Amino acid sequence: MAMITILIVDDDQMNCDLLQNVFTRHGYRVLSATSGIDGLNLFRKYTPRVTLLDLRMPEMDGLTVLKEIRAIDPHASVIVLGGGATEVQENQARGLRVTDFIRKGLSLDVLVEAVHRVAQLPARPSAASVASGNGHTMKPTDESVLVIDDDPLVCDLLVQFLSLRGYRALGVNDGQDALRMAEDVSPDAILLDLVMPGMSGVDVLRALREKEFSGGIIIMTGSHNEELLEEAWSLGPQEVLLKPIDLERLLTAIQLVLVCREC
């Protein structure tokens, strides 16, 4: 079986060497670079399955490297090492769909576990290999997210927000429409408002479970009613987010749901 390639991009040579040591022992083929430019050259040449990227580097910082990687391959798995990163940098990295964000100071086990998890996902075709015969590059198919919220403005804003992040996003405003849409489209993930007139979010969730819906479900709610939240949790959603929802947290939740679905 071919060895899985990992690329480490960190301006601290000692960090590179230590990580190279660890992951080589775990049976990976490890490449490393101490500058963004060298890292990108290695990324282009070897298409690593996982890239470990330090955010804080002189000259070309990690965010710039991440943008360049996304331009080469929108679906490449990149785990950011975020020691000392500001909240703004963290949010920008999440906006660029990082696969995982490991704060330095977390145990090495957490990082190794994250790499194992990503490395075991089926390899996506790289953007280069998706090129069709006529010389154009086909856009990789994007995951679909169905937004269910009885507030049309909130629903539209979330659909627009997710579309800009590269998801195929659809929105509906009531439970019955949502169930029909879920059956027609089979979305990869559903964002579900809990409190809705007519058919409530809990009713929708129960119906989805009865139909054995296989996608991820994330509940959004402004309600702090403990009984209601308990009932929702008992139906097995992947995440319950309280409104007002932090959009970066929402993106992270969606990414986790989609990654777990592929496992």
- 250 in a structural domain: yes
Mean pLDDT calculated for residue range 132-143: 40
Tokens found for residue 174: 């009531």
pLDDT exceeds cutoff 60 at 222: yes
Is-contact 19 52, C-beta < 8 A? yes
Beta bridge partners of 81: 54, 102
The pLDDT score that the predictor gives to residue 105 is 58
**Does 69 share its domain with 93?**
yes
Position 128 pLDDT exceeds 70: no
> What is the token pair recorded at 127?
């953007």
The torsion defined by the Cα of 24, 20, 30 and 80, in degrees rounded to 10, comes to: 120
Structure tokens at 230: 């308990």
| Total domains present in the chain | 2
Last residue of a domain, one of 130, 153, 180: 130
Which of residues 130, 160, 179 is at a domain's end? Answer: 130
Contact in structure between 75 and 121 (CB atoms under 8 Å): no
Task: Please say if the pLDDT value at position 145 is more than 60.
Answer: yes
**What was the pLDDT predicted at 130?**
34
For the record, the structure tokens of 234 come out as 């008992």
Residues 6+ apart with CB under 8 A from 221: 193, 194, 195, 201, 228, 229, 232, 240, 241, 242, 243
Q: 10 with 54: CB under 8 angstroms?
A: yes
- In the predicted structure, residue 5 carries a pLDDT above the cut 60: yes
Between 88 and 67, whose confidence is greater? 67
Owning domain of residue 234: 144-262
**Predicted local confidence at residue 262, as pLDDT:** 56
Greater confidence (68 vs 124) lies with 68
Last residue of a domain, which of 130, 160, 195? 130
List the beta strands (DSSP E) in 44-99: 50-54, 77-81
Peptide bond into 48 cis (omega under 30): no
Q: Is residue 42 part of a domain?
A: yes
Residues 103 and 215 in one domain: no
pLDDT band with cut points at 50, 70 and 90 for residue 55: confident
Find the CATH number of the domain harbouring 79: 3.40.50.2300
Between CA 1 and CA 12 the distance in angstroms is 32
Q: Tokens in use for 228?
A: 């209601």
Q: Which helix (H) or strand (E) holds 144?
A: strand 144-148
pLDDT digits over 78-120, tens only?
Answer: 999 876 677 788 888 888 888 888 875 567 788 888 899 888 8
Identify whether the C-beta of residue 240 lies closer than 8 Å to the C-beta of residue 219.
yes
Q: How far apart are CA 191 and CA 252, in angstroms?
A: 13
Same domain, 97 and 148: no
